[in-house]
Amino acid sequence: MQPDELRNAMAELGYLTQSGLAGAIGVDRSTVSLWLDGRVGVPRPIAKLIRLMVLYEDRTRQ
């Protein structure tokens, strides 16, 4: 998951802050910051979790 995809997912899920996303997925805010800056890659399991969250959000809106 690239930083832009993560930013888009955050927006789609309604997380306005790094802390909001961090709390939802159980990581530290600084970890989300590293991902968004592209300094550290988003681990595959976390990327899958976020993508599933987006899919679930999309389906519940329908």
- Three-state DSSP class for residue 54: helix
- Residue 24: the pLDDT is 97
- Asked if pLDDT for residue 20 goes beyond 90, the answer is yes
3-state helix, strand, coil in the chain (%, to 5): 75, 0, 25
- Asked if pLDDT for residue 62 goes beyond 80, the answer is no
CB 7 within 8 A of CB 56: no
What mean pLDDT comes out for the span 11-20?
97
Distance CA 26, CA 35 (A): 14
What mean pLDDT comes out for the span 40-54?
98
| Location of structure tokens 């996303």 | 21
Residue type, 59: R
| Location of structure tokens 């959000």 | 57
